[in-house]
Amino acid sequence: MTQHIHAVRCTQPVRLRGRVDHLDGSTGEVIHRYTTVHEPGGVLRVACKTRRASRCPSCAETYRADTYQLIRAGLTGGKGVPATVAAHPCLFVTLTAPSFGPVHARREKNGRPLPCRPRRAGGTCPHGQAVACNERHHADDPRTGEPICPDCYDYTGAVLFNATAPELWRRFTIGLRRTLARIVGMTQQEFGQRARVSFAKVAEYQKRGVVHFHAVIRLDGPGGPDTAPPTWATADLLTRAVTLAAGNVQTLTPRTASAASRTCRWGAQFDIRPITTGGALTDNAVAGYIAKYATKAAECTGTLDRRITRADRLDALPVTPHARRLIAECLRIGQAPELAHLARWAHMLGFRGHFSTKSRAYSTTLGKLRAARTDHQRAQHAHDTPHDETVLIVTHWRFVGLGHLDDLAADAPRLADAPKRGDT
């Protein structure tokens, strides 16, 4: 079966038991039946289809490839998007978080590593920690992203920024449209009748444990990618509007009984670069860069890739000290009813937004790409099932479990030795 073929590489396939009956629509006679009785272990394995590379590299690679096609279609055309979209003004924008305290970082110039935080005057922080770091950190140094002084680091501000980042992005997109209309001297309604802003973005965790956003922002005509933008809609205009909107947008965190409301805004460092077909930043490079981060989450910062339950002991979690303090801050702040969601998303260090989003008219959708792949798979195995239009397909499926049967067999001795419920 097709599902078996695509679940072979999956590290955590969904195991199903059941059958599929093809019935004659007029008589109810069974024309064809598929059953899992004859499958290995009596189950059908279906790919888990997760996007997380830490969970299943195979399924995450499929998700990455789909995201690549989605982003690239909005830059060069294809998948239902006209090729003329490549001539529309388009920017690659990176919006970062503000500083919550100095951290260890890898710095380099012309390919040569530089000292992390050189300070000629030296000195210490109020907690007695040296404020300088003259080491040249390598790429895999686990200290990269760790605070110079954990007691000076604003852990509350970091998790609150992660929690409000989705709302900050939403307000940025609204502010961008308003700013564009104001620059060209139009009302928002008039601007919408002449031009349209389309975008696709992905969230990435920095080593310090806060998110920033990479986005493709494009100016179209009023009909989206099918219509050319007006002549005044240029990349310079879009750059100016993005700069103003990113600098002005802000949002407030809820006020709690134990803490006042905070103002969250983007960091002062953000990057805006035009996307071209043959320049320094090509459409293929941007699509590949965004697709790469669509399969990653907070685990790259040293935290978990699963939810934290009541059975978990914070001091026993396999996380870095920095991530542990971020998680602890999420759990502490999450005790307030207004911020209870922080405790639920503590494993994500407070961020609960979608990792990849796009505007409606940017390009195709992941759903359409998956549907096309399904149709292709069905066409390859069309000879396995009847084609009569009067055939009624009835399915009976029951969830059995997750993982390969071989993995379960290997775990059997360990599970047999584990204490049973009620044992002392």
* Higher-scoring residue by pLDDT: 28, 130: 130
Per-residue pLDDT of 231-277, as tens digits, reads: 999 999 999 999 999 999 999 998 888 778 999 999 998 899 999 87
294 and 396 in a common domain: no
Q: With contact defined as beta carbons under 8 Å apart, do 213 and 199 qualify?
A: no
In a domain, 424, yes or no: no
Total domains present in the chain: 2
Terminus-to-terminus CA distance in the chain, angstroms? 46
31 and 90 in a common domain: no
Q: What is the pLDDT of residue 388?
A: 57
Full domain range(s) for residue 35: 2-48+389-417
Q: Is the dihedral of CA 404, 410, 416, 417 positive or negative?
A: negative
Under the banding of pLDDT at 50, 70 and 90, the label for residue 414 is very low
In a domain, 108, yes or no: no
411 and 294 in a common domain: no
358 and 263 in a common domain: yes
344 and 319 in a common domain: yes
**Per-residue pLDDT for 419 more than 60?**
no
In a domain, 215, yes or no: yes
Per-residue pLDDT of 369-382, as tens digits, reads: 999 988 887 787 66
The partner residues of 269 in beta bridges, in order of sequence, read none
300 and 176 in a common domain: yes
69 and 11 in a common domain: no
In a domain, 177, yes or no: yes
Q: What is the pLDDT of residue 416?
A: 42
404 and 289 in a common domain: no
What CA–CA distance (Å, rounded) separates 38 from 351? 45
Task: Show the tokens assigned to 160.
Answer: 């609150």
Mean pLDDT of the chain: 88
Per-residue pLDDT of 30-39, as tens digits, reads: 888 889 998 8
* Higher-scoring residue by pLDDT: 121, 48: 48
Per-residue pLDDT of 385-403, as tens digits, reads: 555 568 888 999 999 998 8
In a domain, 18, yes or no: yes
404 and 259 in a common domain: no
Beta pairing, strands 356-358 & 391-402: unpaired
Per-residue pLDDT of 313-331, as tens digits, reads: 999 999 999 999 999 999 9
In a domain, 274, yes or no: yes
189 and 329 in a common domain: yes
CA distances from 238 to 233, 235, 245, 278 (A): 7, 5, 10, 20
Mean pLDDT of 330-334: 94
202 and 165 in a common domain: yes
In a domain, 243, yes or no: yes
**Per-residue pLDDT for 29 more than 50?**
yes
In a domain, 384, yes or no: no
* Higher-scoring residue by pLDDT: 129, 387: 129
75 and 42 in a common domain: no
Task: Show the tokens assigned to 353.
Answer: 């937004």
